[in-house]
Structure 1
Amino acid sequence: MASIAFVFKVLCVSFLFIFVASRPTIRPKTFNVQRHGSKPDGKTDNANVFTSIWSRACKRKSGSSKIYVPKGIFYLGGVEFVGPCKNPIEFVIDGTLLAPANPSDIKQDTWINFRYINNLSISGSGTLDGQGKQSWPLNDCHKNLNCPKLAMTMGFAFVNNSNIKDITSLNSKMGHFNFFSVHHFNITGVTITASGDSPNTDGIKMGSCSNMHISNTNIGTGDDCIAILSGTTNLDISNVKCGPGHGISVGSLGKNKDEKDVKNLTVRDVIFNGTSDGIRIKTWESSASKILVSNFVYENIQMIDVGKPINIDQKYCPHPPCEHEQKGESHVQIQDLKLKNIYGTSKNKVAMNLQCSKSFPCKNIELIDINIKSNGLENSSSIAVCENVDGSMSGKMVPQHCLN
């Protein structure tokens, strides 16, 4: 009897295994935008079709959804994709999404905007073509109060547990990718391209974000490759190539009230090639907020003919006259920064500029194995300039440090 019971158990387990293995896998429902009425002719505005497809995919309850953009040129006016959605959504772009060349044809701040979404995945071999060249000469808001408002290429607000992979962003009108209040987001394999003289075309810009990872990404643009603004924490950047552009910038900070601390940043295995700046922290000299910038690590960074390889500027004032003499020093406290294995060449004699606030001096700045030489100058020795900064050094040090 025991042997019969054993055989019966084995048969039951076998049938259960066969039943589980034979159950059909629930695949995402695919919405091919061309099959649903979009025209890849580069002329027809497909915005209404895209938003209609998004609505159907977002509301679908029985499994995840996949929106697929095949090869072709899909002209797209300003669109917003809004959640929350019932299930994860995958947005695969293998074709080109083409923005209006005329900036006034986009009636919103961001050309393609995602809001209030969890579990969003954007991928593909396609391109977001912002057609920014016509807009760049209009970007003179620092001197023209009537300047037109130009749209960023793609924005994310209140988007969590999501990612972008392999997409190319070309010639944005202003910033390429903008993130606000985004948490647990991965960016990998992305290519961002605009000419070095295109104004305000930041590659990746973020504020009030946390737990973001940027890796294996190439950024060449006319402003910051990556701009890190108020309230951003736990950011990891690795294997990024930056150039042309203005480097990886924290700030500017301190201009507005109610700004938040920026902390826990890691930047490693990055190459800056021909950029105006490399490692950059900028705070307004007469700041309206008292915040903390802390726990930063920069490691294994190569500089190739960079204007200001290491630049802490707490007297930031891009458009003089400045108010420093009237309103005092920056109230942004910078502390606990480690710079390790930073090497390469500087276009200028000053390879390291640590210009900190007199009221809130930089504290615990740790320099380890710095080797940045001036390139193309008669006297090839580089120098460091320090103001109001305390810290320590170890290992090779070119230029010679000037820490207190």
Structure 2
Amino acid sequence: MASIAFVFKVLCVSFLFIFVASRPTIRPKMFNVQRHGSKPDGKTDNANVFTSIWSRACKRKNGSSKIYVPKGTFYLSGVEFVGPCKNPIEFVIDGTLLAPANPSDIKQDTWINFRYINNLSISGSGTLDGQGKQSWPLNDCHKNPNCPKLAMTMGFAFVNNSNIKDITSLNSKMGHFNFFSVHYFNITGVSITAPGDSPNTDGIKMGSCSNMHISNTNIGTGDDCIAILSGTTNLDISNVKCGPGHGISVGSLGKNKDEKAVKNLTVRDVIFNGTSDGIRIKTWESSASKILVSNFVYENIQMIDVGKPINIDQKYCPHPPCEHEQKGESHVQIQDLKLKNIYGTSKNKVAMNLQCSKSFPCKNVELIDINIKNNGLEDSSSIAVCENVDGSVSGKMVPQHCIN
């Protein structure tokens, strides 16, 4: 009887396996933009077709949706993809999405914008071509109050549990990728490119975001490779190549009221090549808000001919004279900062600048194995400059540290 029961059990398990294995897999509903009327001629405006397809994909209730952009050049004047959606959406771009060359032809802040969406996946071998060359000479807002508002390439607002993979962003008019109130988002394998002299073309910019991961990404642009703004927490950056550009920047912070803390940042296995800055934290003097910058780890960072490899600047003022200069020190508190295994070459003699606030000195700054030599025309020795810094030092230290 026992052997009969065993055979019966084996047969039941086998039939169950065959039944499960034979069930058809539910594939996502495919929306090929070209088959739905989009024209890959680089001239016809496909914005209405794209938004119509999005609406259909977003409203579909049974199973996921897949929007596919095949090879070819699809001109878009500007699009907004808005949720919430009934199902996960995969957006695969193998062709080129082409922005208007004339910046005034984009009637919104962001050329391609995603809002109020969960479970969005963007991938493909395609390119977002911002055609920014005509716009860059107009980017003079620091001296021209009537400057035109230029659009960023792609934006995400209130987008959660999502990702972007392998896409190329080329020649944005302003920033390439902008994130606001985005949570649990992965960026991997992305390529971001604009000339080193293209103004305000930040690679990845984020504010009020949490639990984001950026990895295996190449960024060369005319501003910050990555800009981390107010309210961003739990950010992990790894295996990123940055250059040209202004480095990975936290801030600027403290200029406006109601700014939020920035905390729990990890930057590891990153290469800065020919950038103006590498590791950078910038806060305004006489801050309008009192906020905390804390729990930062920078580890295994290579500097190749970087202007300011390590730069904490709590007297930030990009276009002097600044009205805050006579109003006192920064109220942004920087603390619990670890710099470990930072090595390479600096263009300038000052390889490490730690210029902290007198009113709120930097606390618990930990330096471990720093080796940055001067690669300029002067002798190869480099120096560190410190103001109002408390912390500890261990391991090899080039330049000689100046921490209390």
TM-score by length of structure 1 reads 0.98
Quick one: structure 1 residues 371 and 3, their matched pair in 2 at CA, closer, same or farther if it must change by over 3 Å?
closer
Structure 1: how far apart are the matches of 2:342 and 2:6?
67
8 Å contact kept, 2:285–2:325: no
- Give 1:19 shift: 1.5
Matches of 1:76 and 1:394, distance apart in 2: 54
Cα deviation, residue 376, structure 1 = 2.5
Q: Single out whichever of 6-15 and 100-109 deviates more from structure 2.
A: 6-15
**Quick check: 1:170–1:193 contact (8 Å CA) kept in 2?**
yes
Q: How far did residue 379 of structure 1 move?
A: 1.9
Identify if the C-alpha distance between structure 1 residues 9 and 391 changes in structure 2 by more than 3 Å, giving closer, same or farther: closer
| Deviation per residue, 1:292-332 (Å, 9 max, x gap) | 00000000000000000000000001111123442111000
2:246 is aligned to: 246
SS in 1 for 2:55: helix
- 3-state SS of paired residue (2:326): helix
Q: Relative to structure 1, is the Cα distance of residues 105 and 219 closer, same or farther in structure 2, using a 3 angstrom cutoff?
A: same
- Alignment check: 8 A CA contact 2:139 2:147 kept: yes
Please give the alpha-carbon distance, in whole angstroms, between the structure 2 residues aligned to 1:177 and 1:316.
Answer: 24
Structure 1 vs Structure 2: percent identity of aligned residues? Answer: 97
Q: Specify the SS of the correspondent of 1:18.
A: helix
Contact 2:349 2:376 in 1 (8 A): no
How has the CA–CA distance of structure 1 residues 321 and 7 changed in structure 2, closer, same or farther, with 3 Å as cutoff? same
Q: Please tell me whether residue 354 in structure 1 is matched to residue 343 in structure 2.
A: no
Where does structure 1 lack aligned partners over 5 or more consecutive residues? none
- Aligned partners of 1:286 and 1:323 also within 8 Å: no
* Cα distance in 2 for residues equivalent to 1:232 and 1:294: 11
Which 10-residue stretch deviates more, 46-55 or 11-20? 11-20
8 Å CA contact 2:31, 2:67 repeated in 1: yes
The CA distance in 1 between the partners of 2:11 and 2:312, in whole Å, is 71
Task: State the Cα RMSD in Å.
Answer: 1.0
CA distance in 1, matches of 2:9, 2:373: 75
Contact residue 277 and residue 309 of structure 1 kept, 8 A? yes
Partner of 2:297: 297
Counterpart for residue 127 of structure 1: 127
Alpha carbons of 1:400 and 1:61: their partners in 2 closer, same or farther (altered >3 Å)?
same
* Equivalent pair of 2:308/2:351 in contact (CA under 8 Å): yes
- Aligned residues of 2:254 and 2:289 also touching (Cα < 8 A): yes
Comparing 373-382 with 58-67, which one deviates more in the overlay? Answer: 373-382
Looking at structure 2, the residues matched to 244 and 14 of structure 1 have their Cα atoms a distance apart, in angstroms, of 59
Name the residue aligned to 2:233.
233
Deviations 1:244-263 (A, max 9, x none): 00000000000000000000
Instruction: Give deviations 1:14-46, integer Å, cap 9, x for gaps.
Output: 322222111100011111000000000000000
- Greater Cα shift, 3-12 or 154-163: 3-12
The Cα offsets for residues 177-202 of structure 1, whole Å up to 9 and x where unpaired, read as: 00000000000000000000000000
Distance 1:31 1:273 in 2: 41
- The count of residues paired between Structure 1 and Structure 2 equals 404
Whole-angstrom CA distance in 2 between matches of 1:304 and 1:6: 68
CA distance in 1, matches of 2:96, 2:228: 28
Distance across 2 between alignment mates of 1:36 and 1:286: 56
Deviation track 1:148-202 (CA, whole Å, cap 9, x = no partner) reads 0000000000000100000000000000000000000000000000000000000
Seen in structure 2, the aligned counterparts of structure 1 residues 325 and 46 have a Cα distance that, compared at 3 Å, is: closer
Partners of 2:325 and 2:275 in 1: CA distance: 30
CA distance in 1, matches of 2:144, 2:338: 40
Deviations 1:256-285 (A, max 9, x none): 000000000000000000000000000001
Instruction: Note closer, same or farther for the CA distance 1:5–1:400 as it changes in structure 2 (3 Å cut).
Output: closer
Paired with 1:345 and 1:20, the residues of 2 have a C-alpha distance of: 59
CA contact (8 A) 2:84 2:117 kept: yes
Q: How far did 1:10 drift?
A: 3.7
Please give the secondary structure, in 2, of the residue aligned with 1:255.
coil
SS of the residue corresponding to residue 324 of structure 1 reads helix
Retained in 2: the 8 A contact 1:187–1:213? yes
Q: Secondary structure at the match of 2:107?
A: coil
Q: Which runs of 5 or more structure 2 residues have no equivalent in the other structure?
A: none
Q: Aligned-pair distance for 1:9?
A: 4.0
The answer to whether the Cα contact below 8 Å between 2:256 and 2:288 also exists between their aligned partners in 1 is yes
Please state whether the residue corresponding to 2:90 is helix, strand or coil.
strand
Per the alignment, residue 206 of structure 1 pairs with: 206
For the residues of structure 2 that align with 1:11 and 1:309, how far apart are their CA atoms? 67
Q: Secondary structure at the match of 1:9?
A: helix
Q: Give the whole-Å Cα distance in 2 for the aligned partners of 1:115 and 1:349.
A: 46
Structure 2 CA distance for aligned equivalents of residues 326 and 375 of structure 1: 36
Going from structure 1 to structure 2, the CA distance change for 1:14 and 1:145 (only over 3 Å counts) comes to same
The verdict on how the C-alpha distance between 1:8 and 1:314 changes in structure 2, with shifts beyond 3 A counting, is same
Give the Cα–Cα distance (whole angstroms) in 2 for the partners of residues 66 and 310 of structure 1: 44
The answer on 1:5 being equivalent to 2:5 is yes
Q: Is the 8 A contact 1:51 1:80 kept in 2?
A: yes
Write the distance in 2 (CA, Å) between the matches of 1:131 and 1:237.
Answer: 28
Q: CA deviation at 1:77?
A: 1.1
Q: Distance in 2 between matches of 1:389 and 1:9?
A: 71
Aligned to 1:22: 22
